Amino acid sequence: MPQVEVDGLTINYDVQGEGEPLLLIPYTSADHACYAFQLPAYTEHFSCIALDLPGSGASDTPAGPYSIEGYADQVAAFLGAIGIEQAHVAGVSLGAAVGIQLAARHPGRVRSLSLHSGWHATDDYLKIVVEQWRTLAPALPTVADVVIQAIFPWCFTPEMYVERPEYVDALTDFVRGRPAQPVDAFLGQTDAVLAHDASAVLGEIEAPTLLTFGARDLICSTRFAEPLKGGIAGSELVVFDHLSHAGLHEDPETFNRATLDFLLRSQSRRDAGAGAHAPLSMVDKA
């Protein structure tokens, strides 16, 4: 697995596929492997670069505080360190928040922007949810236990637990098999989530942008869709009406089809030099 030095930190990452670079930014507590279900589809068209944010995976774990803006600057420096001038950028949840600030603070680095289960500013409801996770983090044996017992139920629909228990077990084993995240790093990442407010910079985003939400997501529900769509000029909105927060895992086929469509159109727009944005759409289970 390649590693690179960025601002005195060792950043771990993975590269698969060929084509234009597509940067994949993980969500809270996850490492680069969280995109395992997307790579088979994405790597047919793109060189996929998935990194471990500082504090997760095999990257260094710096002392806090962590911030979304700080992560965005580190990701921009990471791209420069591996020789990528500009990339398509995709992020889920925490990764989406980082993507927003990356596109606003370093617009030249972002060719297109895909924000999945994201939000513009942390509201009181999201704060309560995240504070529950923070309360459990020192009490449970590992951060993996926090993810499995406290975060998973917010990320998937009840139907997945009831109808596909073997799949939940497989995801549980997957989480336990990844590098352990220190509790302090988890708390640092959730500090960044709690402090996130990009309201003032949404208008600075110029890259073609896709917004996706699960209609059954409570954490980052569609309450955040209109502020993001209204703030990011020309952005597209797709709502998966049967999914929750982690649609990329619960129904990868539907998620990949919609997100790859946007990425390929962004690629074509760049080649053609123009292209219209699509209207809001609802995506049901195929």
Q: Helix (H, G, I), strand (E, B), or coil: what is residue 25?
A: strand
pLDDT along the chain (286 residues), means of 10: 95 97 98 98 98 98 95 98 98 98 98 98 98 97 98 98 98 97 98 98 98 98 98 98 98 98 86 45 50
Which stretches of 143-278 are assigned E, i.e. beta strand? 209-214, 236-240
Give the pLDDT of residue 286: 40
CB 247 within 8 A of CB 219: no
- What proportions of the chain, in percent to the nearest 5, are helix, strand and coil? 50, 20, 35
State the first-to-last Cα distance of the chain, in angstroms, to the nearest integer.
35
Burial (0-12, 13-18, 19+ Cβ within 10 Å), 183:
middle
Give the pLDDT of residue 267: 85
Give the pLDDT of residue 64: 87
Between the CA of residue 28 and those of 11, 52, 55, 151, 265, what are the distances in Å?
A: 16, 11, 10, 10, 29
Burial (0-12, 13-18, 19+ Cβ within 10 Å), 114:
buried
Backbone angles phi, psi at 6, to 5 degrees: -135, 115
Backbone angles phi, psi at 187, to 5 degrees: -65, -35
Contacts of 256 (CB under 8 A, 6+ apart): 37, 38, 41, 42, 248
CB 205 within 8 A of CB 232: yes
Counted residue by residue, the chain has a size of: 286
Query: From the CB of residue 234, how many other CB atoms can be counted at a distance below 10 Å?
Result: 12
Query: From the CB of residue 253, how many other CB atoms can be counted at a distance below 10 Å?
Result: 11
